[in-house]
Amino acid sequence: MPGKEKSASNDGLMNPFNPFQPVKPINFVGRTDALKVFFKKVGEVQNNNVRIIFIRGERGIGKTSLAKYARVMAERQFGIIGFHLFLGGRTGPKTKTEFIYSVVEKMIQAKSAVASLMKRIREYFEKYIIEVDFGILNIKSKELSHSLPKNGSQFLKFIQKFTEALYKGEEEDKGIMLILDELDSVGLTPFFSDFIKEINDTSASEDGSNHRILLVLCGTDFVYNKIIKESHRMGNIMKVIDVNILEENEVKLFYKTTFNRLQIEILNDALDLFSDYVNGSPQLMQLVGNVTFDWLNPREPNRINYQIASEGVKLASEEWGKKFLNRNQYEFLNNDEYKYFSSVLYTMETEIDFSEEELFNKISPSLINKAKNYLEFLSDMGVIEPLREKGGWKFRDKLLSVYVQNIGFIFLKTK
Ligand SMILES: Nc1ncnc2c1ncn2[C@@H]1O[C@H](COP(=O)(O)OP(=O)(O)OP(=O)(O)O)[C@@H](O)[C@H]1O
Ligand SMILES: [Mg+2]
């Protein structure tokens, strides 16, 4: 029986959605324009240039996923060798010395599926590695520290020599792509602008003119502005790629292909519902997919209809709410007095925005001050934000709107 077969294979299905990890290249969607810019820069690099890209976007918007995908594609199509280095965000290196050490250490430890490449990396840094035990390396930190470049100009030459070693014996040097991700702490430190400028200026000077290096920085607006503030010239040196929300058709394509690969069909009204709720956010898109899949998997249906999609959205909103709020905030919202206001929002059939006037009209005048507190608190938590027109509010996203109203709905039912 076909049903039986499916159940056997379904048991072992891995959930392909993950809201908290960069997407695997096979599940990547969208970003066509960004990728064009990326590959254009790879081409320029292969014509003996150094290029610097800044992938800019808010938290969780898909910077790392884009860099990861672009690297894989550039390796495949252009033969460039990529390194994706995570500098540890706010807890990362804070001085120039720590930064350079960290970058080189991560390059030594980089994993590659290409065994010959791993071998060359190891050989090149041989002097600084004590032990190679099942792929685990110990680095002689003292020796390494002494031999490290001290500024951007030396760093460039260091990378150039390393690149030559990687391509030794090959027909052609196809260049190197260094992705510096999670650079919040370095990016916020004054030396960083100078360091990047030194790289740029050395490469522009004659003795640096045949480098093939693509440097990719990933960071938020905040980090970018800080770098620019240190030196306005940085605005011309870095090519910015902005990462924004996904288009509706990209979200739909993502669900269709990811579910179809699992032999699960998704009906159009379910797709509309998903896309409406996630509103282009790649993280919410993964979250809704993730909980829907978990809900679906033991039940084994091979089609997602509107009812199943609604269930998925509701479960996702609970997950999102819990993730979004800390304990105090959670307790605040689940306090009986405030649950009442959430239930009023529910009866107002709020989608994403609402007016406080309507809320105040629905409650007794003696509760208006308390309702104001409630709104202020939601606003402080970042769950709602004020609209331009006075007294207007907007939920941060539809899942949080559902989350808050669901608390109100349960309150009404159990009262
Ligand atoms: N193009 C995409 N296609 C599918 N899913 C994506 C895409 N971009 C991002 N995602 C998903 O969105 C979420 C956030 O992505 P990612 O970690 O790349 O964002 P980020 O901007 O690097 O976040 P942070 O600021 O926390 O470093 C992840 O769950 C990832 O799987
Ligand atoms: Mg990231």
CATH number of the domain to which 342 belongs? 1.10.10
Q: Which atom of ligand 1 is nearest to the CA of 246?
A: 1
* Interval 376-402 mean pLDDT: 92
In a domain, 376, yes or no: yes
Looking at 268, 297, 324, the residue that finishes a domain is: 324
pLDDT of residue 9: 41
Q: How far is the CA of 60 from the centre of ligand 2 (A)?
A: 7
- Among 71-75, 118-122, 242-246, which is the least confidently predicted range? 118-122
Please tell me what DSSP assigns to residue 350: -
- Residue-wise pLDDT for 210-240, tens only, equals 789 999 999 999 999 999 998 888 889 999 9
Q: Which residue has the higher pLDDT, 9 or 78?
A: 78
Mean pLDDT of 175-197: 89
Assess if residue 194 is contained within a domain: yes
Left if phi > 0, otherwise alpha if psi is -120 to 50, otherwise beta: which for 180?
Answer: beta
Residues 319, 333, single domain; the answer is no
Instruction: Note the pLDDT of residue 41.
Output: 97
- Of the candidate ranges 8-12, 53-57, 244-248, the one whose mean pLDDT is the lowest: 8-12
Distance 284 CA to ligand 1 centre (A): 10
Domain boundary among 221, 242, 263: 242
Tell me how crowded residue 288 is: count the other CB atoms within 10 A of its CB.
Answer: 29
In ligand 1, which atom is closest to the CA atom of 23? 31
Do residue 89 and residue 147 come from a single domain?
A: yes
Whether the CB-CB separation of 404 and 345 falls below 8 Å is answered with yes
The reply to whether 235 and 184 lie within a common domain is: yes
Cβ atoms 54, 179 nearer than 8 A = no
* Most informative mutation of 35, 65, 68 for ligand 1 (most atoms within 8 A of CB): 65
CB contact burial 268-281 (16+ within 10 A = b; e otherwise): eebbebbbebbbbb
Q: Answer whether residue 4 is part of any domain.
A: no
| Count of CA atoms in the C-beta half-sphere (13 A) of 139 | 18
- In this prediction, residues 165-185 reach a mean pLDDT of 89
How far is residue 174's CA from residue 224's CA, in Å, rounded to a whole number?
Answer: 29
Residue 135 has pLDDT above 50, yes or no: yes
Q: Which of 302, 324, 346 is the last residue of a domain?
A: 324
* Crossing angle of helices 336-347 and 398-414, rounded to 10°: 110
Question: Given a cut of 90, is residue 158 above it in pLDDT?
Answer: yes
What amino acid occupies position 152?
G
Residue 165 pLDDT exceeds 70: yes
Write the residue with the smallest CA distance to atom 4 of ligand 1: 28
Are 316 and 353 within one domain?
Answer: no
Mean per-residue pLDDT over the chain, rounded: 89
Choice from 283, 293, 320 to test ligand 1 binding pocket (greatest atom count within 8 A of CB): 283
Residues 297 and 366 in one domain: no
Domain count, the chain: 3
Tell me, in angstroms, the distance from the centre of ligand 1 to residue 143's CA: 37
CATH code where residue 279 lies: 1.10.8.60
Q: What is the pLDDT of residue 3?
A: 38
267 plus 307 within the same structural domain: yes
The DSSP code sequence of 120-176 is HHHHHTGGGEEEEETTEEEE-HHHHHHHS--SHHHHHHHHHHHHHHHTTTSS----E
* Amino acid making up residue 45: V
Share of the chain above pLDDT 70, in %: 95
Q: How confident is the model at residue 256 (pLDDT cuts 50, 70, 90)?
A: very high
Answer whether residue 375 is part of any domain. yes
pLDDT bracket for residue 26 (50, 70, 90): very high
The span from the CA of 224 to the CA of 227, in Å, is 5
Closest CA to 145 of 185, 196, 102, 190: 102
**Dihedrals phi, psi of 241, to nearest 5 degrees:** -115, 115
First to last CA, the chain: 48
Note residues around ion ligand 2 (Cβ under 5 angstroms).
64
Is residue 180 scored above 50 in pLDDT?
Answer: yes
Question: DSSP secondary structure string, 22-62?
Answer: PPPGGG----HHHHHHHHHHHHHHHTT-EEEEEEE--TTSS
Q: What is the mean pLDDT of residues 279-288?
A: 92
Ligand 1 site, CB within 6 A: 18-23, 27-31, 57, 59-65, 254, 282-283, 286
Enclosing domain of residue 35: 31-242
pLDDT at 208: 56
pLDDT top residue among 293 and 118 = 293
Residue with CA nearest ligand 1 atom 25: 59
Lowest mean per-residue pLDDT among 11-15, 122-126, 162-166: 11-15
10 — pLDDT class (breaks 50, 70, 90): very low
Residue 414 CA: distances (Å) to CA of 30, 315, 411: 44, 19, 5
Query: Would the pLDDT of 114 be above 90?
Result: no
- Closest ligand, as measured to the CA of 63: 1
Same domain, 82 and 222: yes
Shared domain for 308 and 348, answered yes or no, is no
